[in-house]
Structures are given as C-alpha cells and as structure tokens.
C-alpha cells in the first residue's frame, strides 16, 4: 500500500477543500505509536484521508505530533496499534523503485507482513541521514543502516513482550508481526508498540542481523509500491502539485551563464490575459554558479499557459557576460589539441616512453564525446509557500537536504524554517540533485506574497541545465610481436564538475577514477594524464558521470588493438585484463576514492570483471556467423562498485540505418535486493547509453545552448529500441554495488565496436549518428 493522493492536488493539513471528498492531513497524526527517540517519524507526502467530519477508528485517533524526534535508525519506522507498519522512505523515488527496495531491507529484518506495510516519504532533514539520491548509493551505502533499523525495532518489540510476560528475551522470537514465547503465548507488534516506545534504543552490537538464508524479502522480486498508483494516475509528481491560492510562474533566463538583463520592457507581457506580475530575479552572485538560480525575468500568472505566453511577449535584451564567446565546435578543437600534448600525470607504471620506442607496432586514436543533457521525462518543477518567515516547498528533487540548505541560504533564514516535501520524480539522472529551481520558487513566492509553482518547460531544461561534460581523449599503445600492449598512454581532457562549485581548470581525481585511472589492463607500462580545460557552461553529473566518455574511449581502443593484432575482440579483452587479481592502484600513484567505499570491502576484482565478460559473450553466442551487414561488439566496465559487460548485435543497411537484433547484458552487482528491478535498471541504463551514443549532443554558439526541444535534442524512439534485450544477474554474496548507473557506460563502446564489425568503419566521435559521422561515408580511419 503506497499512500498517495487520488488526485494530483496538494493542500495543507488545516485547509478546507470545497467540492472534493479528499483532504490532506498530516499523516504523522494518524495514530502510529511512538514517543521514544527514533520511534516516530516525519512525513511529507500526504495521504488520502476522510474529511474531518467523518468518524475515525480508535487506532486512527490523533496523537501528539512527534515530528521533532532526534536522528537515528528507528526514525524510519513506526508501528500502529492495529499492527500496521509504517516505513518512512528517506530516498527520492524516480522510477528506480527505491521505495520498494527500502521496504524490503527494513521489513525483512523487522519481520512484518508485506501486505501490512504503509510507505510514506520523508521530508528533507538531516535526521534521516544522507538523502542525496544519486551515485547509485541507495542500496550499496545504506543496506546495513536500513537492515539495522528493522532489527533494532524488532528487538525492542520483542523486549517489550518479554517484559510483559516477565521472561528473558532469549525465550521469545518474532514472526511476521507477532512475538511468540516458548510456552506458546503470542502478542502482536501492535499489542506491545506503546510499551516498546518507552524503551531505550539498544546498541547495534547487541542486535543480530538475519543470516542470508533467513531473508524473506531481500533478494526476492517483491512488487512495486508505486507503479500501480502511477499507472492509475494517483502518483503525485512535482509538476502535479497544487496548493490553495497558488499562482504559476515561468522564467526567461539569461542564455549564457553569468549573463544579465540589459533592458526589459514588460508592457506586452502584462497585457497577456492571466499575467499578474513580472519580476526580475537576482543575478548569479560570485564567481561560481553552484546551486544558485541563473537569474532573469519571472512571469507570474493565473495558469502556466498564460505565464508561458507572457514570457513570449517579453521584450528583453541580455548582457551575455564572460561566456559570450563560448562556441562548442571551437572549444572541441581546443580540447582535441590539448589531448595531444602532455598533461599532468595521474597514474604511472613502468616507463611508457621507452616501451613505446621499442614496440613492434604503435596504435593511436583520438576520441570525442560532446556535452549531454539529462533530459528527464518530467522537467524540473517546484512549488513554494511562505508563512511569515517560514517556507514550505514541494519539489521533484533528488537531494532535499541540499534544497533546504540552498533555500535557507539564498533567502537568509535558518534551515529549520525550511520544509522540503519530496514528490515523485519523473526521472532525474542527476539533474534534479541540483536545487536551483526550488530556490527560484522560494524567491518568487516571497516577492509575490502567494504560493507559486515554477515550471520548467522542455526548452528551459535543455538550455539551462547542468550539462554532462564534453571530453577529448588520446589513446596510444605500443604492441609487441604477439600484438599485446607493452605500453599504454591515456590522456583525457574535460571541464570538471568542480568548476560549478569552485576554481577548477582540469578534471578531478574523482572524475579520473571513473574509467581512466582505474583501468584494469594488465600492461607493464601505463600512464594516465589529464589536460587543462576551462568550463563555460554549468557542468553537472549525469547518469554514470565520467564513466560515459572514459569507457567509450578505453573499450573502443581495446577493440582497435584487437583488430590491429588480428585477434578476436572478446579474447583480446580477456588478455588485456590478465590474471585473476585484486588491483592495488596505489602502487601506480593513483588517488582512488573507489566511489566512497572501502577498497578492502569492494576491491577492484578482475575475476568478477572477466566473469561478466564471458557471460555476456555466451549470451550473445559470441563467435557465431552473422548475416552480411551485421556485426557483434562487446565491452566491459566496472563502475559504482558493479561489473557490467554488454554485447550488441547491430544490422546496418545500405543507407546507414542501424537496428539492434539483440543486446545482452551481464551484471555482477554483488548482493541484489530486488532482481526484477535490477534487471529493469540494467535495461534502462543500457537504453540510456545507446540513445546518447547514437544521438546525444548539446552544442553552444555565442555562449548559449543551441538545442531546445525534441527532436533537436534527439532521443531513441521506441521503434528504434533493440528487438531483444536480455539481462543476466550473476550470483554473488559480495556487498551490494550500484545498479542505477553501471548499465550505461558499456553501451556506447559495445555499439561502436559492433558498427565496426558490421561496416569496417571506426567511429570515434559521439554521437555515432551525429553530423560528424555518416555510415554511408568513409569512417574516421
């Protein structure tokens, strides 16, 4: 049971709604028992409830509001007197089924019936721990915390029952919402919830987690809590939010970052029916954008369409500022030139230069990947309402705590005066972890003196986002007589994400660790360098971040080396990876964050890498004869602590049109909480990677992004998707890795390798079907 509105309307607890049978109430007052530290919870997404005039059962009688409880694992759980279990989800749901996964992890250890679960969404608050839902972290970083929360609550309920019976806790056991004594006596969780709420939370060391063979929900295909509501139109997304007396706003933003208003005539805009106000927003302050709004002109109206028409009627000219001359084509040429020059060494093994000089054969290749837009299905949207010096916001945000901090800072109020309610997200891919749009709503609402919903159109989203970085890379290898590399040089150049938050003129160690400095190749001489690159638009993270372009270059180059050596792609990759081992990158001077995880717990394990490669090849029936115009390509990559191999069969017709007879993906993500959802994430990540590999490209002219909407920002269509996409999950007892992002990086190089196998044309520039690539023409050599 996932509690959401039956209608896409949000109201406050004390609001009266006319002509409707629904009212929004504070669900934390609905009778869930609590009182001790961590045993109550705060809820943000409201639930359908009877009107106040309707009678309520005893178990639903209002209780004191305990929303100010301290932080702790049990803040996520509450037990009702009738035995219902409420789990408060602290992560953002954007289609990855994190709500279901969180429920599986907590409920398994709590030992409750699945059908009696109620799920609610947490507001942005540090008491819930890390809420930033990106980096594929929801399971890999939090499985132990969520499991422990369930185990602690189970222990407290069991102790409460033992106290009531006057027996030792060792004589009691739990089973699906009940406590049973060895004598046969039984109490339900609801029977002892109030008593349990008065107990101290035990030390984690005193609580034993279930063994893997005792898991009831973890590792199983439990059904989604959200999908049934969403397909029936009951889910509330950021764009759906409405509050009483709300007005609507769209914003004309400067075309360039750090651009400013030069002149403004709003006469025609104010004459548009429904437009009530035009206001200037503050310009970007300081030298970095961070999460600040871009500034510009807001048009406020009685509905979104009137606001859009009012914006169209504005007569505004812009001072383009310091980024006025940014031209992505010229910039790309500069990056390519930089990639051919020595850079700062970030990994060094052996003597690359000497080995290159004595190599039997030398192979070089230059790769290029453009800026990308995350382009989630639902563009950013946020609603804000002020009450005195306090503000409440509703937003489709991946990072509600950052939204809270940003709003408080820009509005000059304490964080405790800011409430961020998290709606469902219609996709995120990293864009919605940057809360500039929430701050826009807050600033406008304060000026207008009424609740305001800010809507980003698709053009706004594509032109004014935080873009995936552009990259130029140079790969060089010296081969011995057997065709194997004795030396490899990988040089990468890209504007860093860090440039959005501070001074940065080259890629960071973290970004380099995403597919460059963490290369698993067993080569005696290896060097990785990074070149200088200044940013001229806002750089942000996108699904799998720098792994996208680094994997494209590395895995494409591996196939090029195999061809130069006259060997099979897959067999050559296995030789490149070398023997089974755990790689110690520190020996090569690498600063390796390992996705924030312990290298002891999550080593870089070549055996796991080779296993998924072999499996994907087996799934694709690698080595078989394929029809003329068909080709098989393969790649393998570790990212976010998971190992993924992708094999692709393409068919290329005489006009250069590409179809996909088959795509095969093998993933080793360690312990998997929900196999069905993991497969869906692999499918989605692969399609996302294929779409961007084929068509994704953001360009800029005179400092402004050129693309605005579909099809200028082209995505893969349903008719273009693979005819067959199979995913295999490797059995593993290893700690969990990520699953939201690792499916994306191997897609582009596997596709490029398949195209080469089908046509003999090597495409090293993304997008593969962009203006710089034509399969009916000669390849890039």
What digits encode the pLDDT tens for the residues 136-179? 999 999 999 999 999 999 999 999 999 999 999 999 999 999 99
Mean pLDDT over residues 664-690, rounded?
Answer: 98
Residue 50 has pLDDT above 60, yes or no: no
Residue 781 lies in a domain: no
Indicate whether 546 belongs to any domain. Answer: yes
Q: Which one is predicted more confidently, 582 or 41?
A: 582
Preceding peptide of 501 cis, ω within 30°? no
Evaluate whether residue 639 is within a structural domain: yes
Q: Which of 735, 630, 633, 737 is nearest to 682 (CA)?
A: 737
Taking the C-alpha atoms of residue 1 and residue 674, their distance in angstroms, rounded to an integer, is 18
* Residue 482 and residue 403 share a domain: no
Q: Are strands 700-701 and 704-705 parallel, antiparallel or unpaired?
A: antiparallel
Question: 315 and 356: one domain?
Answer: no
**Same-domain status, 417 and 556:** no
Q: Do 362 and 220 lie in a common domain?
A: no
Residues 636 and 733 in one domain: yes
> How many Å is the Cα radius of gyration of the chain?
28
Is the pLDDT confidence value at 18 over 90? no
Predicted structure pTM score: 0.91
* Sheet strands (E) in 494-629: 525-531, 582-583, 604-605
Predicted confidence (pLDDT) at residue 16 exceeds the cutoff of 90 = no
Q: What is the DSSP string of 11-29?
A: --TT---TT-S-EEE-GGG
Is residue 101 within 8 Å of residue 87, measured between CB atoms?
A: no
Please name the helix (run of DSSP H) or strand (run of DSSP E) that holds residue 200, with its range, or none.
none
Rounded average pLDDT over 123-144: 96
Which element (helix H / strand E) includes 151? helix 143-165
Tell me phi and psi for residue 366, to 5 degrees: -115, 135
460 located within any domain: no
Does 53 score more than 50 pLDDT? no
Q: In whole angstroms, what is the distance from residue 741 CA to residue 732 CA? A: 19
Query: Is 444 within a domain?
Result: yes
Q: Based on the fold, state whether residues 341 and 439 are members of the same structural domain.
A: no
**Is 121 part of a structural domain of the chain?**
yes
Q: What confidence score (pLDDT) does residue 52 get?
A: 31
Q: Which of 433, 455, 477 is the last residue of a domain?
A: 455
Whether the predicted pLDDT of 38 surpasses 70: no
pLDDT at 56: 32
As a whole number, the mean pLDDT across the chain is 90
**Three-state SS letters, 456-485:** CCHHHHHHCCCEECCEEEEEEEEECCCCCE
Q: Residue 685: pLDDT above 90?
A: yes
Report pLDDT for 82: 87
Q: Identify whether the C-beta of residue 496 lies closer than 8 Å to the C-beta of residue 511.
A: yes
At residue 362, does pLDDT exceed 60? yes
Contact of 395 with 382, CB cutoff 8 Å: yes
Same domain, 212 and 298: no
Token pair of 762 as six digits: 């090597």
Residue 83 pLDDT: 86
DSSP state of 608: H
Number of domains forming the structure of the chain: 3
Residue 94, domain member (yes or no): yes
Complete DSSP assignment for 191-246: HHHHHHTTSPPPPGGG-PPPPGGG-SSTTS-PPPSSHHHHHTT---BGGG---TT-
Residue 26 has a pLDDT of 29
What residues have CB less than 8 Å from 153, skipping those under 6 apart? 39, 74, 77, 79, 110, 196
What span, in angstroms and rounded, lies between the C-alpha atoms of 80 and 724? 46
Q: Domain of 151: which CATH number?
A: 3.30.365.10
The answer on 517 and 392 residing in a single domain is no
- How does strand 418-422 pair with strand 390-395? parallel
The CA distance from 72 to 65, in Å, is: 18
One domain, residues 204 and 124: yes
Q: Is residue 700 part of a domain?
A: yes
Is pLDDT at 290 greater than 80 in this prediction?
A: yes
Please give the average per-residue pLDDT across 413-418, as a whole number.
98
pLDDT of residue 737: 98
Note whether 279 and 357 are same-domain residues: no
Give the pLDDT score at 72: 60
* Mean pLDDT on 53-66: 32
Contact 72, 128 (CB under 8 A): no
Q: Give the pair of three-digit tokens for residue 142.
A: 């939090």
Per-residue pLDDT at 35 exceeds 90: no
Beta bridge partners of 117: 85
Q: Which residue, 230, 258, 291, sits at the end of a domain?
A: 230
Ranking 70-84, 288-302, 360-374, 441-455 by mean pLDDT, the lowest is 70-84
Among 455, 474, 507, the domain boundary falls at 455
pLDDT for the residue numbered 73: 66
The residue range of the domain holding 340 is: 328-372+466-776
Q: How many CA atoms lie within 13 A of 354 on its CB side?
A: 5
* Strand order across the 117-121 sheet: 32-33, 77-80, 85-89, 117-121
Q: pLDDT tens digits, residue range 740-755?
A: 999 999 999 999 999 9
d(CA 648, CA 768): 15
Shared domain for 243 and 119, answered yes or no, is no
Q: Which of 58-67, 409-418, 495-504, 533-542 has the lowest mean pLDDT?
A: 58-67
20 and 116 belong to one structural domain = yes
The stretch 71-86 carries a mean pLDDT of 84
């Amino acid at each position: 049971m996932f509690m959401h509105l039956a209608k896409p309307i949000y109201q406050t607890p004390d609001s009266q709604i006319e002509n409707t049978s629904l009212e929004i109430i504070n669900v934390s007052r609905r009778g869930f028992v609590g009182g001790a530290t961590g045993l109550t919870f705060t809820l943000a997404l409201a639930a359908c409830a009877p009107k106040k005039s309707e009678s309520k059962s005893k178990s639903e009688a209002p209780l004191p509001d305990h929303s100010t409880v301290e932080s702790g694992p049990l803040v996520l759980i509450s037990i009702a007197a009738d035995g219902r279990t409420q789990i408060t989800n602290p992560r953002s749901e954007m289609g990855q089924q994190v709500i279901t996964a969180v429920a599986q992890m907590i409920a398994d250890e709590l030992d409750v019936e699945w059908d009696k679960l109620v799920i609610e969404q947490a507001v942005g608050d540090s008491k819930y721990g890390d809420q930033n839902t990106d980096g594929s972290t929801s399971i890999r970083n939090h499985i132990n915390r969520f499991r422990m929360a369930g185990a602690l609550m189970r222990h407290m309920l069991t102790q409460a029952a033992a106290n009531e019976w006057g027996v030792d806790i060792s004589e009691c056991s739990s089973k699906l919402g009940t406590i049973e004594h060895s004598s046969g006596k039984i109490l339900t969780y609801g029977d002892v919830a109030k008593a349990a709420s008065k107990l101290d939370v035990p030390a984690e060391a005193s609580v034993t987690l279930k063994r893997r063979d005792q898991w009831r929900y973890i590792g199983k295909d439990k059904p989604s809590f959200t999908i049934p509501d969403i397909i029936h139109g009951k889910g509330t997304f950021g764009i759906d939010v409405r509050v009483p007396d709300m007005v609507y706003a769209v914003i004309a933003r400067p075309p360039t970052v750090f651009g400013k208003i030069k002149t403004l005539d709003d006469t025609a805009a104010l004459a548009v029916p429904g437009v009530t106000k035009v206001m200037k927003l503050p310009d970007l302050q300081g030298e970095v954008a961070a999460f600040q709004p871009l500034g510009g002109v807001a048009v406020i109206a009685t509905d979104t369409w009137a606001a859009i028409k009012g914006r169209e009627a504005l007569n505004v000219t812009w001072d383009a500022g310091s980024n006025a001359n940014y031209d992505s084509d010229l910039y790309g040429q500069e990056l390519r030139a930089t990639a051919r020059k020595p850079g700062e060494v970030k990994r060094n093994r052996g003597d690359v230069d000497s080995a290159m000089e004595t190599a039997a054969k030398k192979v070089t290749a230059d790769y290029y990947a453009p800026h990308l837009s995350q382009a989630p299905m639902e563009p950013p949207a946020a609603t804000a309402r002020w009450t005195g010096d306090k503000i409440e916001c509703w937003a489709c945000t991946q990072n509600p705590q950052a939204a809270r901090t940003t709003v408080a800072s820009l509005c000059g109020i304490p964080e405790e005066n800011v409430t961020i309610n998290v709606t469902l997200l219609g996709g995120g891919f990293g864009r919605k972890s940057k809360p500039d749009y929430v701050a826009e709503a807050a600033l406008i609402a304060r000026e207008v003196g009424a609740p305001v919903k800010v809507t980003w159109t698709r053009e706004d989203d594509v032109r004014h986002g935080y873009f995936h970085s552009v990259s130029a890379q140079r790969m060089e290898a010296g081969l011995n007589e057997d065709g194997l590399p004795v030396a490899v040089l990988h040089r990468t150049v890209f504007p860093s994400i860090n440039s959005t938050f501070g001074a940065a003129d080259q890629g960071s160690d973290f970004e380099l660790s995403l597919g460059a400095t963490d290369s698993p190749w067993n080569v005696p001489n290896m060097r990785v360098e990074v070149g200088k690159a200044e940013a001229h638009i806002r750089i942000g993270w996108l699904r799998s971040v720098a792994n996208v372009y680094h994997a494209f270059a590395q895995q494409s180059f591996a196939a090029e080396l195999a061809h130069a050596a006259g060997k099979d792609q897959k067999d050559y990759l296995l030789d490149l990876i070398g023997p089974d081992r755990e790689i110690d990158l520190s020996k090569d001077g690498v600063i390796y964050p390992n996705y924030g995880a312990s290298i002891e717990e999550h080593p870089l394990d070549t055996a796991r890498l080779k296993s998924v490669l072999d499996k994907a090849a087996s799934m694709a029936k690698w080595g078989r004869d394929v029809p003329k115009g068909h080709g098989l390509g393969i790649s393998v990559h570790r990212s976010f602590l998971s190992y993924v191999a992708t094999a692709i069969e393409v068919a290329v017709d005489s006009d250069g049109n590409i179809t996909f007879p088959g795509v095969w993906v093998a993933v080793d993500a360690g312990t998997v909480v929900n196999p069905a959802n993991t497969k869906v994430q692999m499918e989605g990540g692969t399609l996302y990677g294929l779409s961007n590999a084929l068509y994704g490209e953001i360009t800029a002219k005179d400092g402004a992004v050129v693309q605005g909407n579909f099809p200028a920002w082209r995505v893969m269509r349903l008719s273009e998707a693979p005819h067959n996409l199979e995913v295999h999950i490797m059995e593993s007892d290893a700690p969990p890795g990520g699953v939201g992002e690792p499916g994306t990086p191997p897609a582009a190089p596997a596709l490029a390798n398949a195209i080469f196998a089908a046509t003999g044309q090597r495409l090293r520039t993304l997008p593969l079907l962009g203006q710089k690539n034509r399969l009916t023409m000669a390849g890039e050599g």
